[in-house]
């Protein structure tokens, strides 16, 4: 058998005879019923009670009235809400947002519709086949077409592509425009940020007519898979440098946890056409020559022969229409790889579970809960090919191996083999430690039922987890697989021994960054060794004490895994047990990719220059994943080495991987972006969410290398630099009244940068334990883009005055309708209100101090708020319209599938009373990014700083 050290390239053989390169849910069917007749009258009654209960005549204003009649802060709830009575709700301030779909997106949501992070469903029409849209004009501004915005790109080269000659552009026709630049004043006096700005689609990618070989609406990559920071790319490195903007791709190869929800087309005929020189896979932007017998690579321009079987169906033994092939119509497609793409048989799915059976692991209920969860999830673990294998180890001050016999053997009892040598742990038996799930199913179930009892009386405080990891690696390294570590204590003996080093006096000081460094070099060197042998590690950490997440998170970071942190977890709390059981079950059922590599190929003149995410960078451009999870995103920075003369460039992501059912596959994602020599078009096509994701990774890198102060300073300096560059190069210096000018498509960037600086991972505070901060840094560098944006700028919903359709299934889609999101300001919280605050990892249900008893009774089942359990809780199930709708909104917000991002996370919910536990209240308030909570700066103060720096 070939060594698993470097078993695959993403590329297969070189036809020219060269060497093979070897480096390389809320259930909609269970929705709340329609509201009972008279629901509105009942809410009117609550409104009257709120007034009498002491909400007061001015309580509904929620902010100060500005000149011109607009409200700063939240407008009063409409009559009929649980609150301010008898006052008509003023029209929502427009915040300067256009009423037509924004950014020229023909598919954008109408105002008031449920936002979807601006990410069209896979297969939504892309820019290449849309005529240039009218300018996304700001309200009251004349059309930008009439203004004659500078922004005419160079004439696009006529390209002979497709199966027939394409019509030439009529002479005298003006060159195609890219996105026009629409400036706005982002200051409080102008058109300030509104949370709905984050839901706009990215600026259109406008390609020349007939750019692709077929007129498919799916020819260009949807943003939920690959998102570029720039949707019009500078032709030269000097123009990119002048713009101060990054050019990078945010890559999420999968948008779902399960194949059944994944609609990417799969090509089974094993006919794979690739460029002989640059190894690019044929894609919708290739062009055909010589009566379609040859094709020209859209990356390096080399002419290649079309494979003989390209037009032949070997299964049906008949010719096929090549123009219907998925790789020419879909920018995201998958191939089943032929034999030459592998140097050994595809590996089976292997899970090796490492249980912490020290006193902390047993007394917290972790061992019992984990064993029960695995037992109940055995049916969900992918095992289509019946090759899936499981192994079990336990660790305290010794290593415990478990030998599970096959079903039907003489003995059905699992044997425990104990090894006390921690320095050179050996395998007590060469076989029966990794067992086939199908062949040993009954005995595995018996073993898991008895596991807790084996250690029920443990009082051993020691954990030799480092030694156990080495032993586990020895057990599965000949095949590869995933080690799943479930630990509730600090590894305090044996290899990788760690000390409790947290010092509260260092928190919030310049020396705090030393606590974020790896304490023991073992964790990085061992992770690199695991990566070479196709072993991935996931850490589930549960300690109520210091556990050194900073050191332990290195194991997932370099092996394509993830760190899941459950601080002070205890199975005695139902909410804790349910959260872990739900997430662990989803984790076990997710169809991960095995022994994967990812490579980015680019048009000649471009080059991938930096990579961010959880993987090991095996060579200059090859990212290795012993296992590729489906709930992470990766960032690749692109450098411009030579001036680009093409009208558009192409970037292709290739992911070679083994599926859970033993198939070798290649997922190919191709993105095309127009080029421009005009700085205004670069800015007009910048994607504020992708830019924030890029700088999130840069900030984590800076925090770990130079400290938290340096990371925050770099983020603030960047937003100042962008505003200064815009003012100097494009603003014309004509903004009066001390305003701040920026393109409308980047209006949310400053608040996102402020949210990043205030995030748990980077915020200046002496109250954040090191483990919590380290876990937050892990999230900032792995979350898929929609979840990352919510983590940086959480969602705030008003529940007491929801519109009548909120919390109800939509008549058209069946999905739960959400209330309109509010800006993260305490000015939007009224004292009699009920709010949901959700950052994707934690939910807070905020109950105002003057909430009326009727509202409390309808939602919580008691009219005395003093009886409500504060802190971690779950909503009771009541037979009231309001309770059902609130539960529906909370559940919908917790279900991340609607965002187009796979995630196993189920955020816990905390009930926060405004007049209750102060520490809980302060924790929730730190999520209000626009306030000054926890000694930070408010949004108004931050804008003042920006204005001062930029205008000076």
| % of the chain residues with pLDDT over 70 | 80
Please tell me which residue, 534 or 139, carries the higher pLDDT value: 534
Contact 231, 687 (CB under 8 A): yes
What average pLDDT does range 508-517 have in this prediction?
85
487: number of Cβ within 10 Å: 24
At 845, list the tokens: 């249900």
Q: Calculate mean pLDDT across residues 508-529.
A: 90
pLDDT band at 312 (very low <50, low <70, confident <90, very high): confident
Rounded to whole angstroms, the Cα distance separating 491 from 845 reads 36
Q: Is 632 helix (H, G, I), strand (E, B) or coil?
A: coil
| % of the chain at pLDDT higher than 90 | 68
Phi, psi of 913 (to 5 degrees): -95, 130
What confidence category does residue 713 fall into, taking pLDDT thresholds of 50, 70 and 90? very high
3-state secondary structure 25-75: CCCHHHCCCCCCCCHHHHHHHHHHHHHHHHHCCCHHHCCCECHHHCECCCC
Between CA 703 and CA 515 the distance in angstroms is: 11
- Return the pLDDT at 317: 84
| Helix, strand or coil, per DSSP, at residue 124 | coil
C-alpha dihedral (616, 553, 756, 103), degrees to nearest 10: 40
Q: Does the structure show a pLDDT above 80 at 181?
A: yes
Compute CA distances 805 → 310, 819, 828, 832, 857, whole Å: 52, 9, 21, 21, 21
- Residue 177: pLDDT band by 50, 70, 90 thresholds? confident
In terms of Cβ atoms closer than 10 Å to its own Cβ (0-12, 13-18, 19+), residue 2 is exposed
Please give the mean pLDDT across all residues of the chain. Answer: 83
pLDDT tens sequence across 737-761: 567 899 999 999 999 999 999 999 9
What does the pLDDT average to over 322-346? 92
Q: Which of 61-75, 126-140, 460-474, 855-869 has the lowest mean pLDDT?
A: 126-140
Residues in the chain: 952
Distance CA 539, CA 524 (A): 14
Q: Does residue 25 have a pLDDT over 50?
A: no
DSSP at 379 = T
The pLDDT-based confidence of 430 (bands split at 50, 70, 90) is: low
Cβ atoms of residues 310 and 324 within 8 Å: no
Mean pLDDT, to the nearest integer, of 463-474?
96
Other Cβ atoms within 10 Å of 732 Cβ, number: 10
Q: Considering only CA atoms, which of 361, 583, 394 is closest in space to residue 488?
A: 361
Q: Tokens standing for 939?
A: 């949004």
Average pLDDT estimate for 9-16: 42
pLDDT band at residue 732 under the 50/70/90 scheme: low
| Widest pairwise Cα distance in the chain | 88
More confident residue, 894 or 83: 894
Q: Which domains does the chain have, with CATH numbers?
A: 34-93+794-928 (3.40.20.10), 259-315+324-344+593-680 (2.60.40.1670), 350-589 (3.40.50.410)
Residue 574: exposure state from Cβ atoms within 10 A (0-12, 13-18, ≥19) = exposed
Encode burial over 441-462: b for 16+ CB neighbours within 10 A, e otherwise: bebbebbbeebbebbeebebeb
User: Does residue 614 carry a pLDDT above 60?
Assistant: yes
| Top mean-pLDDT range of 55-69, 400-414, 474-488, 495-509 | 474-488
- Residue 269 pLDDT level (bands cut at 50, 70, 90): confident
pLDDT digits (tens, 9 = 90+) for 683-711: 999 999 999 999 999 999 999 999 999 99
In angstroms, the CA 366 to CA 272 distance is 48
Lowest mean pLDDT among 107-111, 232-236, 534-538: 107-111
DSSP letter for each residue of 127-196 = GGGSPPPPP-PPTTPPPHHHHT-S-BPPPPPP---SSSPPPPPPTTPPPPB-PPP-EEE-STTSS---GG
**Distance in Å from the first CA to the final CA of the chain:** 68
Q: Mean pLDDT highest for which of 34-43, 60-69, 636-645, 859-868?
A: 636-645
Least confident residue range of 441-445, 449-453, 516-520, 722-726: 516-520
């Amino acid at each position: 058998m070939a060594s698993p050290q470097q078993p695959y390239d993403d590329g297969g053989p070189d036809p020219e005879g060269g060497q093979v390169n070897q480096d390389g849910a809320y259930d909609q069917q269970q929705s709340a019923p329609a509201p009972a007749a008279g629901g509105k009258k009942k809410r009117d009654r609550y409104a009257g009670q709120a007034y009498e209960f002491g909400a007061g005549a001015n309580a509904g204003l929620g902010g100060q009235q500005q000149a011109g009649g607009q409200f700063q802060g939240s407008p009063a709830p409409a009559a009929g809400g649980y609150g301010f009575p008898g006052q008509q709700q003023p029209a929502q301030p427009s915040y300067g947002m256009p009423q037509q779909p924004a950014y020229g997106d023909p598919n954008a949501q109408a105002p008031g519709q449920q936002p979807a992070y601006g990410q069209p469903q896979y297969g939504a029409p892309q820019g290449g086949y849309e005529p240039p849209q009218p300018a996304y004009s700001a309200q009251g501004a004349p059309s930008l077409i009439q203004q004659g915005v500078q922004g005419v790109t160079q004439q696009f080269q006529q390209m002979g592509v497709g199966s027939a000659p394409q019509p030439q552009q009529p002479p005298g026709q003006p060159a195609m425009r890219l996105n026009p630049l629409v400036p706005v004043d982002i200051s409080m006096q102008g058109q300030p940020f509104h949370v709905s700005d984050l839901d706009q689609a990215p600026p259109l990618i406008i390609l020349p007519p007939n750019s692709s070989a077929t007129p498919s609406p799916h020819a260009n990559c949807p943003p939920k898979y690959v998102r570029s920071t720039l949707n019009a790319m500078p032709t030269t490195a000097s123009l990119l440098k002048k713009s101060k903007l990054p050019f990078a791709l945010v890559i999420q190869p999968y948008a779902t946890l399960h194949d059944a929800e994944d609609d990417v087309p799969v090509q089974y005929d094993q006919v794979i056409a690739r460029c002989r020189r640059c190894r690019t896979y044929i894609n919708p932007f290739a062009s055909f020559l010589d009566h379609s017998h040859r094709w020209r690579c859209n990356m390096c321009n080399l002419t290649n022969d079309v494979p003989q079987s390209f037009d032949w169906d070997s299964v049906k033994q008949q010719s096929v229409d090549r123009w219907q092939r998925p790789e020419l119509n879909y920018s995201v497609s998958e191939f089943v790889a032929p034999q030459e793409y592998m140097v050994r048989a595809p590996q089976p799915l292997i899970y090796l579970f490492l249980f912490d059976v020290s006193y902390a692991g047993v007394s917290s209920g972790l061992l019992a809960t984990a064993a029960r969860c695995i037992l109940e999830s055995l049916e969900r673990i992918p095992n289509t090919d019946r090759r899936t294998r499981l192994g079990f180890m336990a660790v305290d001050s010794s290593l415990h191996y478990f030998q599970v016999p096959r079903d039907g053997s003489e003995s059905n009892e699992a044997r425990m083999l104990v090894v006390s040598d921690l320095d050179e742990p050996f395998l007590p038996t060469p076989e029966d430690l990794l067992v086939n799930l199908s062949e040993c199913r009954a005995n595995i179930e018996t073993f898991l039922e008895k596991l807790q009892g084996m250690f029920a009386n443990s009082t051993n405080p020691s954990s030799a987890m480092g030694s156990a990891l080495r032993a586990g690696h020895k057990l599965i390294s000949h095949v590869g697989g995933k080690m799943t570590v479930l630990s509730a204590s600090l590894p305090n003996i044996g290899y990788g021994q760690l000390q409790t080093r947290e010092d509260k006096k260092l928190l919030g000081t310049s020396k705090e960054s030393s606590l974020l460094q790896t304490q023991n070099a073992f964790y990085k060197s061992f992770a690199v060794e695991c990566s070479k042998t196709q072993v991935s590690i996931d850490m589930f950490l549960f300690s109520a004490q210091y556990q050194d997440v900073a050191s332990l998170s290195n194991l997932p970071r370099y092996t394509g895994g993830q760190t899941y942190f459950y601080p002070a977890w205890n199975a005695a709390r139902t909410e804790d047990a349910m959260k872990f059981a739900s997430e662990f079950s989803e984790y076990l059922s997710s169809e991960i990719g095995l022994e994967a590599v990812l490579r980015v190929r680019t048009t000649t003149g471009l080059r991938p220059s930096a990579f961010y995410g959880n993987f090991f960078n095996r060579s200059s451009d090859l990212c290795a994943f012993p296992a590729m999870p489906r709930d992470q995103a990766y960032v690749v920075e692109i450098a411009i080495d030579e001036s680009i003369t093409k009208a558009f460039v192409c970037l292709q992501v290739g992911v070679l991987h083994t599926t859970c059912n033993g198939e070798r596959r290649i997922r190919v994602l191709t993105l095309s972006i127009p080029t421009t020599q005009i700085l205004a078009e670069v800015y007009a096509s910048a994607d504020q969410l992708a830019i924030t994701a890029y700088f999130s990774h840069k900030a984590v890198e800076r925090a770990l290398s130079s400290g938290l102060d340096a990371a925050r300073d770099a983020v603030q300096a960047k937003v100042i630099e962008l505003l200064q560059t815009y003012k100097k190069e494009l603003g014309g210096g004509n903004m009066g009244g001390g305003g701040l000018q920026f393109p409308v498509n980047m209006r949310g960037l400053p608040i996102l940068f402020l949210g990043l600086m205030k995030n748990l991972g980077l915020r200046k505070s002496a109250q954040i334990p090191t483990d919590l901060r380290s876990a937050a840094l892990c999230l900032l560098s792995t979350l898929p883009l929609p979840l990352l944006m919510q983590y940086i700028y959480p969602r705030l919903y008003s529940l007491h005055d929801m519109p009548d359709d909120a919390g109800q299934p939509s008549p058209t889609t069946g999905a739960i309708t959400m209330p309109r999101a509010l800006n993260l300001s305490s000015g939007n919280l009224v004292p009699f209100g009920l709010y949901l605050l959700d950052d994707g990892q934690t939910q807070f249900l905020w109950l105002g101090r003057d909430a009326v008893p009727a509202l409390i009774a309808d939602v919580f089942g008691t009219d005395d708020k003093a009886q409500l359990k504060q802190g971690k809780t779950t909503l009771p199930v009541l037979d009231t319209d309001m309770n059902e709708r609130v539960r529906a909104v909370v559940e919908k917000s917790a279900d991340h599938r609607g965002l187009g991002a796979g995630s196993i996370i189920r955020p816990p919910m905390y009930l926060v009373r405004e007049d209750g536990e102060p520490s809980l209240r302060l924790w929730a308030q730190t999520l209000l990014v626009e306030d000054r909570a926890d000694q930070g700066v408010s949004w108004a103060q931050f804008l003042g700083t920006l204005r001062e720096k930029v205008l000076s």
